[in-house]
Structure 1
Amino acid sequence: MRKIIHIDMDAFFASVEQRDNPDLRGRPLAVGGGGPRGVVASASYEARKYGVRSAMSGGMARRLCPEIVFVRSRFDVYRSVSYQIRDIFLDYTDLVEPLSLDEAYLDVTENKKNMTSATLIAQEIRKRIEAETGLTASAGVSFNKFLAKIASDINKPNGIKVITPEEAIAFLEQLAVEKFHGVGKVTARKMHNMGIYTGGDLKQRSEADLVRFFGKAGRYYYRIVRAEDNREVNPHRIRKSIGAERTFNEDVSDPEIMKNKLTDLAEGVHRYMDKTQNFGRTVTLKLKSPDFKILTRSRSFASEIRNLDELIRIVHDLLDQHIEEAPIVRLLGVTLSNLEKENETEGGVQLELEFPEE
């Protein structure tokens, strides 16, 4: 039986900003764009008390919390701290699977410290993170990834939760389905409409029923409510894409302005590809309309897109072909996927979050 730890930093971006600027400590803070078109990338716990959450618009955050302070992101700093934290993980095990800059799975079944208790390892890692970075982390400990992930949310912030094999089933039966990792808002509403509110309700449904209503995900739901998750911690997580996107202060309807913005985004994506020498074969254009409808259109090729001019031409062609489907946009994005390198340590890279232009 595996011993899995899921470490999740507490309000990571916002906590870094409060750590580095004492004037921000104890104040409601958001990292991101504070304008009507801005988006919150991270909110401090002081801001969360007012209902401010990541991915919320800056305008909504200000309405919920008029005294909130917005700061621009510093991804180089966040990335540097993330690597510092990852080095702590590697002192205990090489089986570290980063999910993003602020969270990771660790398999400590066999570990470099020869410690038999995963709980003690998680406690030690949390103490070291706080001592060496000035930040706090929450941890979940269990015998599979799914349960460890759920457990890390239970006692946030700066807490730890252990789910043992003996208590796993009872824990899941009492858990609200919207707390299940992999059940989003839309799926949760669909489950509620079916009378499924808890894991216990979900467990009453047959696998065939769940597949009929939820497709392939139904098999996943059938297994996880029974605490079945055989996924290994993968230190060589496949990077799926490299992307950049930008939200505008005002809606854009001029195709030439759109192309200029797409050129900038393509250049950012290409710089990252060139730096990492990891090129993709599928180009995806993303457009978001003023009513928040998202349109994505892709084109794949037999070989990697290595030339910047070629990438720009492809993106512009995609826009020309599909502009009638979204003649006015509030957001544009460019993504490269089907990357040639398979052994990377992150699932994907978003070069720019949905922050408005200055």
Structure 2
Amino acid sequence: MSEDDGTPTRKIIHVDMDAFYASVEQRDNPDLRGKPVAVGGAAARGVVAAASYEARAFGVRSALPSVTAKRRCPDLIFVPPRFDVYRAVSGQIREIFAEHTDLIEPLSLDEAYLDVTDNKQGIPIATEIATIIRARIKEVTGLNASAGISYCKFLAKMASDLNKPNGQAVITPRNGPAFVQALAVKKFHGVGPATAAKMERLGILTGAELRSKTLVFLQEHFGKSGAWYYNIARGIDHREVQPDRPRKSVGAEDTFMVDVFDLGAARAELTPLAAKVWRQCESKSLHGRTVTLKVKYADFQIITRSRTTTSPIGVLDDLEAIGQSLLEPLFPTAKGIRLLGVTLSSFIDDEETEADQLELQI
């Protein structure tokens, strides 16, 4: 079997845990079961990290300010996150994936792509593998997972949302193009609100209307992404499942209880963020060259400032110093800062690092 363009058909599964963080909390605390739960801070400046399905019924979702979440759901129960537990459970789930394939591409702690075209157990039907994986996850962790099965990553991701929670769906090569044409573009994975609004201004509301546009038109209006939109409108996605994707960045951020107007106070807040990033990078032997400062103002405007060094940043003091140098020009400020973040990126591998160090010694 092959796709319309002649390339062999792959069998891709996208597994997505249902309300993962909140479900772990409900599993570990029976008093929370059946109740609206939000993982995150209940403080005035807190943000929801995850919400149970009982909470979602009230419009509570991730990234929602805690104050708004509580207003929407007065009975909402806030639970502080336990990322060490979530990571441990995620590890159990990855072990289950590995029983079937080594081609596993984690997207986060709670979701991953699996290529089961040539799977370890020789099961010819991908939907059967997805059923087995979901049952095994339930058996080992007590948690529910949903799955999408298709011939490409884009449609597998879209399929995993169709029968949530605790369900699965398949989109076949024969049905893929028709499925995409009937879908609203704002529901496409990877099409954010700004892009959806731009498409709407161009008269593109559905996959069918997206497909009607020429490649030249889409490249003219969307640049490099034009070719991607042209292909997915036809149900075409050649991306392979990439196991052990290299991490692109490590960051930390904090939302303040009170808006910060003073440079000294902002500098003090930046110090522990830089330290947290450095600890994470050291634990994973990551060596980066680009420091990015993120600032969210009281009016929710977000700006970023970056600086890239010629060689990897070698010590925490240098990371913090660059972050502070990016922060200082933003003061004095007429509007308060409600959030600061620091990210390190442009990682290089250990061999390159050793070569750089030898060069410096010479």
Instruction: Bin the TM-score by the shorter chain.
Output: over 0.9
Structure 2 letter corresponding to 1:52: V
Q: Which amino acid aligns with 2:222?
A: F
Distance across 2 between alignment mates of 1:215 and 1:36: 41
Structure 2: distance between partners of 1:277 and 1:166:
45
Q: Return the alpha-carbon distance in structure 2 between the equivalents of residues 258 and 185 of structure 1.
A: 31
Residue number in structure 2 paired with 1:317 = 325
What amino acid does structure 2 have at the position aligned with 1:250?
Answer: V
So what's the TM-score if we normalise by structure 2? 0.92
State the match for 1:105 in structure 2: 113
Aligned to 1:346: none
- 1:289 matched residue in structure 2: 297
Specify the alignment match of 1:349 in structure 2.
none
Is 1:24 the equivalent of 2:32? yes
TM-score under structure 1 normalisation? 0.93
Match of 1:71 among 51, 65, 79: 79
Tell me whether 1:333 sits opposite 2:344 in the alignment. no
Quote the offset at 1:35 in angstroms: 2.6
Q: What is the deviation of 1:339?
A: 1.2
Within the candidate set 245, 259, 267, 2:253 is matched to: 245
Residue 234 of structure 2 aligns with an amino acid whose one-letter code is R
Q: Which residue of 1 aligns with 2:57?
A: 49
SS at match of 1:153: coil
- CA separation in 1, counterparts of 2:204 and 2:321? 49
Deviations 1:237-257 (A, max 9, x none): 121001000001110111111
Larger RCO of the pair (alpha carbons < 8 Å, separation 6+): 1
Unaligned runs of 5+ in 2: 1-8, 352-362
Equivalent residue letter for 2:55:
A
Determine the C-alpha separation between the residues in 1 that align with 2:172 and 2:334.
51
SS at match of 1:165: coil
Aligned to 1:348: none
Q: Does 1:193 align with 2:164?
A: no
Q: Structure 1, unaligned stretches of length 5 or more?
A: 344-358
In structure 2, what is the equivalent of residue 81 of structure 1?
89
Superposed, which structure 2 residues align to 1:211-290 within 5 Å?
211-290=219-298
The letter of the residue matching 1:176 is: A
Match of 1:152?
160
**Which stretch of structure 1 is more off in the superposition, 273-282 or 141-150?**
273-282
Question: Structure 1: how far apart are the matches of 2:322 and 2:298?
Answer: 24
Report what 1:179 is aligned to: 187
SS at match of 2:312: coil
- Contact 1:289–1:326 (CA<8 Å) still a contact in 2? no
Matched residues in 1 for 2:34 and 2:349: separation? 43
Task: Work out whether 1:9 is the aligned partner of 2:17.
Answer: yes
CA distance in 1: counterparts of 2:54 and 2:239, whole angstroms: 36
Question: 1:26-41, aligned counterparts within 5 Å?
Answer: 26-41=34-49
Contact 1:31–1:73 (Cα < 8 Å) also in 2: yes
Q: After superposition, where does 1:345-356 map in structure 2 within 5 Å? A: none
Q: Secondary structure at the match of 2:331?
A: helix
Q: Distance in 1 between matches of 2:81 and 2:145?
A: 20
* Equivalences, count: 343
8 Å contact 2:298–2:335 — kept in the other structure?
Answer: no
Q: Which secondary structure state, in structure 2, belongs to the residue aligned with residue 7 of structure 1?
A: strand
Distance 2:327 2:347 in 1: 22
Bigger radius of gyration, 1 or 2?
A: 2
Question: In the aligned structure 2, how far is the partner of 1:325 from the partner of 1:217?
Answer: 36
Where does residue 312 of structure 2 map in the other structure? 304
**Structure 2: how far apart are the matches of 1:212 and 1:293?**
28
1:250-292 C-alpha deviation (Å, 9 max, x unpaired): 1011111111110000111111112222121111111110011
* Cα separation, partners in 2 of 1:327 and 1:341, compared to 1, 3 Å: farther
Identity %: 58
How far is 1:120 from its partner?
A: 0.2
Give the counterpart of 1:115 among 111, 115, 123: 123
Q: Which moved more, 1:274-283 or 1:150-159?
A: 274-283
Return the letter of the residue paired with 1:136: N
Amino acid at match of 1:82: S
The letter for the 2-side match of 1:44 is S
Q: Following TM superposition, by how much is the alpha carbon of 1:36 offset from its aligned partner in structure 2, in angstroms?
A: 2.8
Of residues 271-280 and 316-325 in structure 1, the stretch that sits farther from structure 2 once superposed is: 316-325
State the one-letter code of the partner of 1:280: G
Distance 1:95 1:176 in 2: 31
**Structure 1 letter corresponding to 2:12:** I
Q: Distance in 1 between matches of 2:75 and 2:193?
A: 29
Per-residue CA deviation, residues 21-70 of structure 1 (Å, 9 max, x unaligned), is 00000000100122331111100000001111111111110111111001
Q: 1:325 to 1:191 in 2, by over 3 A?
A: farther
Distance 1:159 1:237 in 2: 27
| Residue number in structure 2 paired with 1:93 | 101
Q: Could you tell me how far 1:15 is from its partner in structure 2? A: 0.5
Between the aligned partners of 1:342 and 1:254, the Cα distance in structure 2 is 39
How much does 1:193 deviate?
A: 2.4
Range that drifts further, 129-138 or 30-39: 30-39
CA contact (8 A) 1:287 1:326 kept: no
